[in-house]
Amino acid sequence: MSTINGNGAAEHIDSSTTRRAPTPGKATVLAIGKAFPSQLIPQDCLVEGYFRDTNCADFAMKEKLARLCKTTTVKTRYTVMSKEILDKYPELATEGKPTITQRLDIANQAVTEMAKEASLACIKQWGRPAADITHVIYVSSSEIRLPGGDLYLASELGLRNDVNRVMLYFLGCYGGVTGLRIAKDIAENNPGSRVLLTTSETTILGFRPPNKSRPYDLVGAALFGDGAAAAIIGADPMTKVESPFMELSFAVQQFLPGTHSVIDGRLSEEGINFKLGRDLPQKIDDNIEGFCSKLMEKALGLSDFNDLFWAVHPGGPAILNRLETTLKLRGEKLDCSRRALMDFGNVSSNTIIYVLEYMKEELMNKENGEEWGLALAFGPGITFEGILLRNLNYERRDGLLILALSDKKAKTQSGFQSKGGSAAGQPAGGDAPLPLVRPEKRNFKPSSSFLHSFLSTTPILVIQIPIFSIFRALQEYINGFQVFDGSKTLVLVILSSPSSLSLDLGGFSSPNLFFHTCLRSSVVLGGFHVLGSVGG
């Protein structure tokens, strides 16, 4: 949509959204990227393919895996494992064969390729050159080598040789949130820094034939997937260059004493063996409320978990269901987590970034979306990782039109003067730029058909408020505004019913006449530039 600047030129401004300003010095998420291997497995095809590839004819175990596949709610997953790999390394599907060397050869290459692809997608979205990246955090529980994947990634991306690197190995499912926490600390303590966080995971290390002595393997076969994710984090984003959408406000890590064996992973000559205790959901259930309360109390004024948006690592449907019940969350609160689980499975450390991407999309399309939320993940330890998030995304306001104004003195042709305001044509505060403001009240009304003819040339914000005098209402409503940006743009409210509008129209006989006169004359009311009014 076009607006008219101080020189009479049209400027574009989004007609349905406003953005919250980042807190100075706080880390923000500036971009997100993801990548996957080429092999996409529909969950409906998994059981037949898995038992065929591993030459297993145990019908009871096959039925059990089929039940587990339905329970997980996963619909599709990506995997590095392929027919070509099994043809080259048939020993991977053979019980008891020492295959750790082969698995690492496959995994080390695969995670680097996926990490590079996710990082490039993230950098492209970010919009700045890769040379501006000052720090790299690389997270993986799927590779073992020296030097680590952090160096391989930095080299593949062509980053500067003085880029600061951090490698996080074998954290499991909470590694993505740990990476965000460390990126937050780096960004906030190194002014101007830009941190590339990349996670990359594959299930190659744990792939093996089904065995009755290892029932946990079937859970992994039904639940886990492969892929990579990336995010760029930095404080004090550059205006018009970077687009922050989430602020990392406060972070907490906590482990539960005496639970180190509930999630257990051990390397062997056959790969990695995982064991998940049946009491994992209950352990999380017993401790999650206090942990989340500790984070929520940092968002002053919030006392109900439903006042938050939720980005939870979907370790499995049982964990999400218990979390929803324990915290008394409304059904839709975990939609993004359930959607990520359905589309990708549990991709270990990557998954929280997939959830955040879905959350970004949801908040952009949600009218008056929540300002505060939590990112949560659970993993070996049992370890809880949590971050209090602040939504910087646009607040959608369907039917609302935003106006942009110059900081120059407004000139009037009508000689109109507001009650209690400055003389027409002289903004309060002289030449000082007008701040961007937003209403705290949310009683919005879509623009009427009367306004549509003005969309190309006349930006207008319409908000319905009960008033007896348009000027008194403006003054009272403006007092409820919150300044959140030092730009030269002003969002302004003017609306009343024709009957109330007629009380203070200064002799104009109708709202439309008043409206058109305001459009021509650019009236100033108490220092606020008025471009229009419409009756209710």
pLDDT bin (cut points 50, 70, 90) of residue 513 is very low
Q: How many residues does the chain have?
A: 536
pLDDT higher than threshold 90 for residue 509: no
pTM of the entire predicted model:
0.72
pLDDT higher than threshold 70 for residue 15: no
Distance CA 307, CA 358 (A): 18
Residues 31, 123 contacting (CB under 8 angstroms)? yes
β-strand pairing of 436-439 with 227-235 = unpaired
pLDDT bin (cut points 50, 70, 90) of residue 395 is low
What DSSP string runs through 318-331?
Answer: HHHHHHHHHTT--G
**Mean pLDDT (whole number) for 341-370:** 93
Tell me the pLDDT tens digit for each residue of 127-170.
Answer: 999 999 999 999 999 999 999 999 999 999 999 999 999 999 99
Residues 130, 158 contacting (CB under 8 angstroms)? yes
Q: Which of 191, 182, 132 is nearest to 157 (CA)?
A: 132
Note the pLDDT of residue 302.
86
Note the pLDDT of residue 215.
81
* Token pair in block for residue 492: 């302004």
What's the sign of the alpha-carbon dihedral 166, 171, 175, 180? negative
**Mean pLDDT (whole number) for 435-450:** 35
Q: What share of the chain is helix, strand, coil (3-state, %, to 5)?
A: 35, 25, 40
What DSSP string runs through 424-485?
Answer: TT--TTTTPPPPEEEES---B-PPPHHHHTTTTT-----B----S-HHHHHHHHHHTEEEEE
Helix, coil or strand: residue 107: helix
Among residues 69, 122, 173, 336, the one annotated as catalytic is 173
What DSSP string runs through 188-251?
Answer: HHSTT--EEEEEEE-SGGG-----TT-THHHHHHHHB--EEEEEEEEESPPTTT----EEEEEE
The three-state DSSP-derived secondary structure of 342-400 is HHHCECHHHHHHHHHHHHHHHHHCCECCCCEEEEEEEECCCEEEEEEEEECCEEECCCC
Note the pLDDT of residue 394.
56
Reply yes or no on whether 173 is catalytic.
yes
Tell me the pLDDT tens digit for each residue of 278-313.
Answer: 888 889 989 999 999 999 988 877 889 999 999 999
Note the pLDDT of residue 435.
33
Distance CA 293, CA 290 (A): 5
Tell me the pLDDT tens digit for each residue of 18-31.
Answer: 678 899 999 999 99
Q: Which of 67, 47, 369, 18 is nearest to 221 (CA)?
A: 47
Q: What are the structural domains of the chain?
A: 2-16+397-535 (no CATH), 27-395 (3.40.47.10)
Q: Tell me whether residue 273 is exposed, middle or buried, using C-beta atoms within 10 angstroms of its C-beta: 0 to 12, 13 to 18, 19 or more.
A: middle
* Token pair in block for residue 512: 């439309």
Distance CA 214, CA 273 (A): 9
pLDDT higher than threshold 90 for residue 527: no
Specify which of 249-263, 406-420, 444-458 reaches the highest per-range mean pLDDT.
Answer: 249-263
Q: Which of 379, 345, 83 is nearest to 223 (CA)?
A: 345
Note the pLDDT of residue 216.
83
Note the pLDDT of residue 299.
86
Note the pLDDT of residue 483.
32
Angle formed at CA 366 by CA 365 and CA 371, multiple of 5 degrees: 120
Note the pLDDT of residue 459.
36
Asked if the peptide bond before residue 186 counts as cis, ω within 30 degrees of 0, the response is: no
Note the pLDDT of residue 19.
74
Residues 400, 444 contacting (CB under 8 angstroms)? yes
Distance CA 178, CA 517 (A): 58
pLDDT bin (cut points 50, 70, 90) of residue 11 is very low
pLDDT higher than threshold 90 for residue 349: yes
Residues 378, 364 contacting (CB under 8 angstroms)? no
Note the pLDDT of residue 367.
73
**Mean pLDDT (whole number) for 194-199:** 99
pLDDT higher than threshold 70 for residue 98: yes
Q: To the nearest whole percent, how much of the chain has pLDDT over 90?
A: 59
